[in-house]
Structure 1
Amino acid sequence: MTENGGSIARSASPARTFNVDLNASGQVHTGVQAWFKILHDNYFPLDVKIGRDFRSGLLTRVDIGNIRACTLKTDPMLTERRASRAMPDGRDFYVVEIPREASVRVAQRGREAIVRPGGFTVVNGAEGYTFETAQHNEVRTLRIPCRSLRARLPSLDDWVATTCDSSQPLVALFLDFAASYGQHGPALLPAHHERLEQQLLDLLAMALLGADDISSETSVRSAHRQRALRAIEQHFCDPALDPSGIARAVGVSERYLQKIFSERQETISATIRERRILEAKRLLANRAQLRLSVTQIAYAVGFSDPAWFSRVFRQATGVSPARYEGDTP
């Protein structure tokens, strides 16, 4: 394994390159382990599987503010992220996957996308997912803190493992900006980095929204739903949160807001409950490190009755909170 470049600064860093070449090293096992470590260190813990055709991999990385832009050149491989490895301290990330040479397969939340060059998809690194390239490929990625994207798009998980194609103008605009982001970003003054980051996130949100089929909703209803999801994201840990409170936060009647959610076969109560269960799963998967009991976790995610939390959790996952160890892809 070789590494070139300088030290990492919080606001920006020069490009750094990491690579393995099994043909040159002659030590296949050592080289493969080195490649696994490169992916682990530059993204997050992943289970990596490679086939007989894997001979080399190269990763170039640039950190600009909170966003890490990477270009990955790799022989065929399969990577899997397990939810049990999600970070306990808010350091989870979304990853934008942009294939350049060949299609990739991405699966998450029961969905599977085949993403071709000229498109992109997003995965939530806090949950289990699968990424596979069946042939040599170049893939550009953007690793973005979950909190940064959810602040703009609380319902972002509606789009994970779906394909956004550059035939749509907003997607093409985002891809063009992303391509130059890693190239020119480090050369800008540090004072410009935050503004550049905000523009990238805005374009990504616009690309995702533009790619979504919202024919059943007017733009006004879509905006109301987004505000409701943002309110849920901000307050789901409050046990007093209920549909009427969400409607008041949005500034519409509860009946009207329920109708907006029903158009997607959703309810406000179920959405609040699902968000609480998702957070409970994250905490339970890390409760040994966090030193939290099941009862403490129930209260932490907004359940006022631990017994009711256990029943709801079992209904959602098929296991009790005490036996939960994390999802697998």
Structure 2
Amino acid sequence: MSDEDTVKSRVLSTLEVPDSDQQSRWREFMTEVYYTLDIRCDSPLGLRGSLCESRFKDLSISAFEAQAHLVRRHVVDVRADQSDDFVLLFPVRGSFLYEQRRETASIEHGDVVVLKSSEPYSVLVSQGARNVTLKIPADRLREAVPWIDRFSAMSGFAAPEIVNLLRNLSEDMMLIQSESHRLGLQMACFDILRMLVEEGRNSIMGQRLAGTAKQTILEGVQGYIRRHFRRTDLDISAAAEHLGVSERYIQKILSDFNLSFNDMLRKHRLQEARLMITSEQFRGKLQIGQIAFLCGFANQSYFSTIYRTEFGISPREDHMYKYKN
């Protein structure tokens, strides 16, 4: 067996590292296991964590448990190391808030997100969080799953039972020492990964039973608006790209429900804005114009006009009425 094919496993930990050096050491560990990453931790007590890695022929599996910290993959690092891997992050405990390609979501146990090392991203790790991660060269994964790029920066696309099956298999694979057994398990891992992505592809493309296809697309659009309504440049083309369908297809589905993307987006933004305008939490802290911008409205005059049309009262009057009564 060549050195290249030798199974490599290791455990890296900051537990014995002085508090003042823990953050820098954790950055070194993460960079060794994945690629160049920046780490930020606000705790004055350092960053305690442990990281396990097991390398296979066509992929590597890792797991870490650590204090709360922020992981960033900067543009300058993407250009410098030219890493081109897919990274599938499976939470085991706690939550992971990720951002890539202007997609932002929090994932927990039973979900997975697909990130690309060839593009910048960030992941906010909650206190005491634990995860399992698959890192696979992009070319190798595209060979096994040709449509994987469609799921970049996506979560919530696959059935939890398949997600959990793949995560559990990955954890078990880290314990197997026999190279021949590991090669067989690696093949099984790719098989389940294809199943997981195919499940997501069918769901997003509306290829389930005919009776649920329209509802699947509608729920996909509604979910996308809820997550991204603050973007002032949000439009139907961004939603179509995210869902992997054409704009025309979305328009057709929405029209069957007597809806339009722009109306759905405007109503959701207005509802969110009214919650902030009438909330005690934001009283005296945010101006009307700031709230409008935070809810995706680039023009305050336009915001005030459609707010009055929707609710029969101006934003300022609504704010004053709330606290006068």
Using the size of structure 1 for normalisation, the TM-score is: 0.57
After superposition, where does 1:148-187 map in structure 2 within 5 Å?
148-164=140-156, 167-184=159-176, 186-187=177-178
1:50-199 equivalences under 5 Å are 50-52=41-43, 54-86=46-78, 91-164=83-156, 167-184=159-176, 186-189=177-180, 192-199=181-188
**Unaligned 5+ runs, structure 2:** 210-242, 249-325
Work out the CA distance in 2 between the residues paired with 1:124 and 1:262.
18
Indicate conservation of the 8 Å contact 1:165/1:171, yes or no.
Answer: no
Of all paired residues, the percent bearing the same amino acid is 18
Deviation at 1:181, TM superposition (A): 1.9
Match of 2:247 in 1: 265
Q: Describe the SS at the equivalent of 1:18.
A: strand
Would you say the 8 A contact 2:41–2:47 is kept in 1? no
Give the root-mean-square deviation of aligned CA atoms: 3.1
1:33 to 24, 29, 32: 24
User: Contact (CA 8 Å) 1:86, 1:125: kept in 2 or not?
Assistant: yes
One-letter amino acid of the structure 2 residue matched with residue 264 of structure 1: S
CA deviations on 1:56-113 (whole Å, 9 max, x unpaired) are 1111111111311111111111111124423789752111111111111111111112
Q: Is the 8 A contact 1:78 1:130 kept in 2?
A: yes
SS in 2 for 1:119: coil
CA shift, 1:33, in A, is: 1.4
State the SS of the aligned residue for 1:183: coil
Which of 175, 189, 202 is the matching residue for 1:200?
189
- Asked if 1:17 corresponds to 2:11, the answer is yes
Number of positions where the alignment pairs a residue of Structure 1 with one of Structure 2: 213
Mapped contact 2:66–2:130 kept (Cα < 8 A): yes
Residue 134 to residue 11, structure 1, CA distance change in 2 (3 Å): same
Q: Deviations over 1:220-243 (max 9, x none)?
A: xxxxxxxxxxxxxxxxxxxxxxxx
Q: In 2 relative to 1, CA 48–56 (structure 1 residues): closer, same or farther, beyond 3 Å?
A: same
Contact 2:132–2:167 at 8 Å: present in 1 too?
A: no
Q: Is the 8 A contact 1:107 1:129 kept in 2?
A: yes
Q: Matched residues in 1 for 2:111 and 2:206: separation?
A: 25
Query: Which amino acid in the other structure matches residue 209 of structure 1?
Result: E
Contact 2:82 2:118 in 1 (8 A): no
Residues 60 and 71, structure 1, Cα contact 8 Å, conserved in 2: yes
The SS at the match of 2:123 is strand
Paired with 2:114 and 2:104, the residues of 1 have a C-alpha distance of 12
Q: Which runs of 4+ in 1 moved over 6 A?
A: 87-90
Confirm or deny: 8 A CA contact 1:86 1:127 kept in the other structure: yes
* Distance (Å, rounded) in 1 between the aligned partners of 2:4 and 2:186: 13
Looking at structure 2, the residues matched to 193 and 87 of structure 1 have their Cα atoms a distance apart, in angstroms, of: 33
Q: Say which of 209, 213, 216 aligns to 2:198.
A: 209
How do 1:278-289 residues align onto structure 2 when only pairs under 5 Å count? none
Residue 265 and residue 181 in structure 1: after superposition, are their counterparts in 2 closer, same or farther (change >3 A)? Answer: farther
- Structure 2 counterpart of 1:49: 40
Within 2, Cα distance between the matches of 1:136 and 1:30? Answer: 19
Q: SS of 1:151's equivalent? A: helix
Q: 1:33 to 1:214 in 2, by over 3 A?
A: closer
